[in-house]
């Protein structure tokens, strides 16, 4: 590199330059009285980051087949003020602290189990310019599901223990994102989305209930695409999150809820009209189910492509019945939740 | 040497950070070398958050998920956009991310030298300090070409030309910390090449679909000036079918486009000095930054300057880390007394 003789001169030049850098920086700081407010140390930030990361890991990857007590403690961690740098301006924007709050917002296990369920959010699909599917006689999915949802609300309210809310109460368009936000903001404990099916190829009546998850069935994917219409997300966006989501508590509970609702809906509907098919519970990547933090299902309670069913749906009594079956399904899930919780405690 | 020993005692981690318009890198005294593209993205809403799975994304990953994100390139035109808090937050996120990549031990003090584009330094020195302060124990901000020069021991009679994305920065070294007139910034740089290439290609192939990202990748793969052997052909879909496109001339034109301004600025800056010093500088010109990777650029600049007498141009070995390595060297050489706690 440099010849040895130059060493001493170079050293001097360097010292001058380094001093220059120092003074230059000092000038900047000097301009302002206290430009650098004392900030939390990096170390503390790192601890918070670590806590946040463990939560993410726990929720994202943690399988919870063994619902031991340790995850409960993690879930219950208070949303300590984990404020870290965040993008302000647009109110829609999330920042890391929102994320932490969002994760921490997942309540203790008892609530997820159904034991502490107080608030139920009912989500009548579509609305406004989005009619959903329509029958040959001109019956719109959006109108039927709104009426059924209102009836379900009245029924559940009779139990006085529950607060029952709806994502829409009128014939208005509510974006899927908004529905999710409403549910999360209301701290809903359960989320039930109500839709009607349409099966052009077969003139049958069918009932099916979905919870969030991957699906390889092309028909299911097609349906999901229809129900997701209006969100900015495509199917490919979900692939990654589906892989990550794993068997979380939310998914397990959603599956239980779907099972209860599907069973009550189908068994009772069949008593009314034997010509109905049980398509069972399925997983599908519906936007609304993904976004909500708590057990969430989407029930296709009837089928508008079936002429008989379209006629029936136009009668109040049929819609009241469907509401009754949904109510029974939800209560079935909740009572099982109690039992499951008791069983765990016995162990 | 001494400095290093004392750092062991106090348990200090020295870091050099190069905060660029397109890429940012970190070099640390624990031998970490990491970089990230200077893009930061925050999920737009709950769904996006679940889709992308993290509260903040960086670089290529942020670009890939841009539809779900609020994307920010904080130093886009070489400066933090005044009053835009988001850019400041994005700078913070990048700094935090890079420092985490350097894996400081718990309890270790972090002394940082941060190199920023020369114009950012003039306009936003305080903003940069604020953005970084949260994550370090002591801090100095310098101009990026100066950090490159210091790192290569070019303390005297030298000119560094840093051809980055948003800007090309010039810095003349004459044995002291460079004054304002020793540094100059022009906008003829990588982004400029991308824009030109994009318009040349859309002009030549109106039916093919190009996007800015694609075009940048072509450039980074094939960039050259003057002549290069062989064809340059790329596959681009036309009406859904992949079709080969010859892009050699367009690449050349786009790359050569920034050179006249660079040569002109160089001669202008050198001309201010007396002839003896001019000769010395001209024999000690160093190209750095991503733009120095363009094939044939060294020869082009050298030949253009030869018109006015002998001249020698070289390229830095590792343009990606030349800035952060230089900043690290500054940090390690800095006498302990100059590190003031924040
Ligand atoms: N092989 C290559 N040929 C031509 N250009 C390249 C090549 N590799 C990278 N680049 C370009 O170099 C630029 C990035 O260089 P660099 O990392 O030095 O910029 P930066 O420091 O982020 O920008 P700035 O110095 O303006 O702040 C980009 O425009 C990139 O496309
Ligand atoms: Mg740079
Ligand atoms: Zn529907």
Mark whether B97 and B214 lie in a shared domain: no
B46 interfacial to chain A (CB closer than 8 Å): yes
**Atom 25 (ligand 1) nearest CA:** B164
Which atom number of ligand 1 is nearest to the Cα of residue B75? Answer: 27
pLDDT over 70, % of chain B: 94
Q: Are A144 and A319 in contact (CB under 8 A)?
A: yes
**ipTM for this prediction:** 0.87
Who among A10, A25, A244 is closest to B53 (CB)? Answer: A244
Residue B70 within any structural domain of the chain: yes
Burial annotation B320-335 (CB, 10 A radius, 16+ → b, else e): bbbbbbbbbbbbbbbe
Q: Which of B289, B318, B319, B327 to mutate to test the pocket of ligand 1 (most atoms within 8 A of CB)?
A: B289
**For residue A98, what pLDDT is reported?**
35
B1 interfacial to chain A (CB closer than 8 Å): no
B67 interfacial to chain A (CB closer than 8 Å): yes
Distance from chain centroid for Cα A64: 18
A57 interfacial to chain B (CB closer than 8 Å): no
pLDDT over 90, % of chain A: 31
Give the C-alpha distances (Å, rounded to integers) separating B212 from A131, B108, B190, B246, B338. Answer: 39, 42, 12, 18, 44
- Burial class from Cβ neighbours inside 10 Å (0-12, 13-18, 19+) for residue B148 reads buried
pLDDT at residue B231 above 70? yes
Residue B163: half-sphere exposure toward Cβ, Cα within 13 Å: 27
pLDDT at residue B230 above 60? yes
Q: Which domain holds residue B244?
A: 190-256
Which of chain A's residues have a Cβ under 8 Å away from the Cβ of B136? Answer: 42
Mark whether B71 and B147 lie in a shared domain: yes
Q: For B80-127, how does the pLDDT look when each residue is reduced to its tens digit (9 = 90+)?
A: 665 567 888 898 999 999 999 999 998 899 999 999 887 777 667 778
CA of residue B284 to ligand 1 center, whole Å: 22
User: Could you tell me which of A245, A240, A227, A337 has the C-alpha nearest to residue A293?
Assistant: A245
B166 lines ligand 1 (CB under 6 A): yes
Residue A37: half-sphere exposure toward Cβ, Cα within 13 Å: 4
Rounded to a whole number of angstroms, the distance between the first and last alpha carbons of chain A is 74
Q: For A73-82, how does the pLDDT look when each residue is reduced to its tens digit (9 = 90+)?
A: 333 333 333 3
User: Could you tell me which of B65, B116, B111 has the C-alpha nearest to residue B94?
Assistant: B116
Alpha carbon distance B209, B206 (integer Å)? 8
Give the C-alpha distances (Å, rounded to integers) separating B286 from A136, B166, B173. Answer: 76, 19, 11
Alpha carbon distance B320, B115 (integer Å)? 13
CA of residue A34 to ligand 1 center, whole Å: 36
Q: Identify which ligand lies nearest to the alpha carbon of B166.
A: 1
Residue B161 within any structural domain of the chain: no
**For residue A116, what pLDDT is reported?**
67
CA of residue B225 to ligand 2 center, whole Å: 21
Residue B66: half-sphere exposure toward Cβ, Cα within 13 Å: 9
Instruction: Read off the pLDDT of each residue in B234-244 and give the average, rounded to a whole number.
Output: 87
The minimum CA-CA distance between B271 and chain A, rounded to whole Å, is 24
Residue B62 within any structural domain of the chain: yes
Alpha carbon distance A269, A329 (integer Å)? 12
Give how many domains chain B has, as a whole number. 2
B101 interfacial to chain A (CB closer than 8 Å): no
**Atom 19 (ligand 1) nearest CA:** B164
Q: Are A245 and B49 in contact (CB under 8 A)?
A: no
B291 lines ligand 1 (CB under 6 A): yes
Rounded to a whole number of angstroms, the distance between the first and last alpha carbons of chain B is 25
Domain boundary pick from B219, B235, B256? B256
Which of chain B's residues have a Cβ under 8 Å away from the Cβ of A46? Answer: 100, 106
pLDDT at residue B1 above 80? no
Residues belonging to chain A? 347
Q: Where are the domains of chain A?
A: 2-82, 116-335
CA of residue B17 to ligand 1 center, whole Å: 16
Q: Which of B184, B220, B221 to mutate to test the pocket of ligand 1 (most atoms within 8 A of CB)?
A: B220
Interface of A with B in 267-326 (CB under 8 A): 287, 290-291
Q: What is the pTM of this model?
A: 0.61
Q: Are A79 and A48 in contact (CB under 8 A)?
A: no
* Residue of chain A with shortest Cα separation from B108: A43
Q: Are A217 and A243 in contact (CB under 8 A)?
A: no
**For residue B122, what pLDDT is reported?**
67
Q: For A200-244, how does the pLDDT look when each residue is reduced to its tens digit (9 = 90+)?
A: 777 788 899 998 777 777 777 778 777 777 666 655 556 655 655
Q: How many CB atoms lie within 10 A of CB A222?
A: 10
pLDDT at residue A28 above 50? yes
Mutate: best of A6, A94, A236, A288, partner B, most B CBs <10 A: A94
The minimum CA-CA distance between B86 and chain A, rounded to whole Å, is 5
Which atom number of ligand 1 is nearest to the Cα of residue B190? Answer: 29
Q: For A299-332, how does the pLDDT look when each residue is reduced to its tens digit (9 = 90+)?
A: 999 999 988 899 999 999 999 999 999 999 999 8
Which of chain B's residues have a Cβ under 8 Å away from the Cβ of A98? Answer: 55
Who among A20, A96, A99 is closest to B177 (CB)? Answer: A20
pLDDT at residue A86 above 60? no
- Burial class from Cβ neighbours inside 10 Å (0-12, 13-18, 19+) for residue B231 reads exposed
**Least confident interval from A18-22, A202-206, A343-347, B194-198:** A343-347
Mark whether B240 and B331 lie in a shared domain: no
Domain boundary pick from B227, B256, B285? B256
Contact call for A13 and B72, based on CB within 8 A: no
Which class is domain A116-335? alpha beta
**What's B243's domain CATH number?**
3.30.420.40
Mark whether B28 and B127 lie in a shared domain: yes
Q: For B23-65, how does the pLDDT look when each residue is reduced to its tens digit (9 = 90+)?
A: 999 999 999 999 999 999 988 877 777 778 888 999 888 988 8
With bands split at pLDDT 50, 70 and 90, how would you rate the model's confidence at B77?
low
Helix, strand, coil share of chain B (percent; to 5): 45, 25, 30
Domain boundary pick from B232, B256, B280? B256
């Amino acid at each position: 590199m440099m010849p040895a003789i130059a060493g001493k001169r170079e050293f001097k030049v360097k010292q001058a330059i380094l001093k220059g850098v120092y003074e230059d920086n000092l000038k900047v700081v000097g301009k302002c009285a206290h430009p650098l407010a004392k900030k939390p140390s990096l170390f503390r930030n790192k601890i918070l980051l670590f806590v946040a990361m463990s939560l993410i890991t726990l929720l994202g990857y943690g399988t919870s087949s063994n619902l031991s007590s340790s995850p409960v403690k993690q879930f219950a961690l208070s949303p300590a003020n984990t404020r870290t740098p965040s993008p302000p301006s647009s109110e829609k924007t999330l920042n890391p602290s929102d994320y932490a709050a969002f994760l921490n917002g997942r309540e203790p296990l008892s609530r997820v189990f159904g034991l502490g369920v107080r608030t139920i959010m009912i989500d009548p699909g579509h609305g406004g310019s989005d009619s959903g599917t329509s029958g040959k006689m001109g019956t719109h999915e959006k109108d039927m599901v709104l009426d059924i949802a209102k009836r379900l609300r009245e029924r559940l309210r009779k139990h006085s223990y529950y607060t029952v809310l709806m994502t829409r109460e009128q014939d208005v368009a509510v974006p899927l994102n908004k529905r999710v936000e409403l549910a999360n903001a209301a701290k809903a404990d359960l989320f039930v989305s109500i839709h009607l099916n349409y099966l052009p190829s077969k003139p049958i009546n069918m009932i099916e209930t979905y919870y969030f998850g991957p699906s390889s069935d092309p028909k299911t994917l097609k349906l999901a695409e229809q129900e997701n219409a209006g969100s900015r997300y495509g199917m490919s966006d979900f692939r990654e999150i589906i892989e990550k989501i794993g068997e979380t508590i939310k998914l397990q509970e959603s599956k239980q809820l779907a099972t209860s609702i599907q069973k009550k809906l189908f068994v009772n509907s069949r008593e009314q009209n034997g010509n109905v098919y049980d398509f069972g519970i399925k997983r599908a990547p519906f936007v609304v189910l993904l976004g909500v933090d708590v057990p969430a299902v989407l029930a296709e309670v009837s089928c508008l492509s079936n002429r008989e069913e379209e006629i029936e749906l136009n009668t109040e009594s049929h819609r009241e019945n469907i509401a009754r079956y949904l109510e029974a399904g939800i209560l079935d899930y909740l009572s099982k939740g109690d039992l499951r919780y008791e069983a765990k405690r016995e162990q | 040497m001494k400095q290093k020993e004392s750092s062991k005692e106090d348990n200090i981690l020295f870091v050099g950070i190069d905060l660029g318009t397109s890429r940012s890198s970190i070099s640390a005294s624990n031998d970490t070398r990491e970089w990230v593209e200077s893009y930061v993205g925050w999920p737009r809403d709950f769904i996006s958050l679940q889709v992308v799975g993290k509260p903040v994304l960086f670089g290529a990953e942020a670009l890939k998920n841009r539809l779900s994100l609020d994307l920010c390139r904080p130093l886009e035109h070489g400066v933090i956009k005044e009053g835009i808090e988001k850019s400041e937050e994005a700078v913070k996120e990048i700094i935090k991310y890079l420092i985490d990549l350097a894996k400081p031990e718990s309890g270790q003090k972090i002394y940082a030298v941060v190199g920023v584009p020369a114009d950012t330094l003039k306009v936003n020195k305080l903003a940069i300090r604020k953005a970084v302060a949260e994550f370090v124990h002591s801090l100095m901000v310098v101009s990026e070409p100066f950090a490159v020069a210091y790192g290569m021991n070019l303390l005297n009679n030298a000119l560094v030309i840093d051809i980055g994305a948003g800007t090309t920065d010039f810095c003349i070294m004459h044995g002291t910390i460079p004054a304002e007139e020793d540094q100059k910034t022009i906008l003829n740089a990588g982004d400029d090449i991308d824009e030109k290439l994009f318009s040349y290609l859309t002009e030549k192939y109106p039916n093919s679909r190009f996007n800015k990202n694609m075009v940048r990748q072509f450039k980074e793969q094939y960039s050259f000036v003057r002549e290069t052997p062989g064809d340059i052909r790329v596959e681009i879909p036309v009406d859904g079918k992949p079709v080969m496109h010859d892009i050699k001339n367009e690449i050349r034109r786009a790359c050569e486009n920034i050179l006249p301004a660079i040569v002109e600025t160089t001669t202008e800056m050198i001309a201010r000095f007396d002839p003896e010093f001019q000769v010395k500088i001209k024999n000690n010109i160093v190209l750095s930054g991503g733009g120095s990777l363009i094939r044939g650029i060294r020869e082009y600049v050298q030949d253009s300057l030869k018109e006015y007498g002998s001249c020698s141009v070289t390229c830095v070995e590792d343009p990606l880390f030349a800035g952060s390595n230089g900043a690290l060297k500054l940090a390690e050489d800095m006498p302990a007394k100059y590190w003031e706690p924040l």
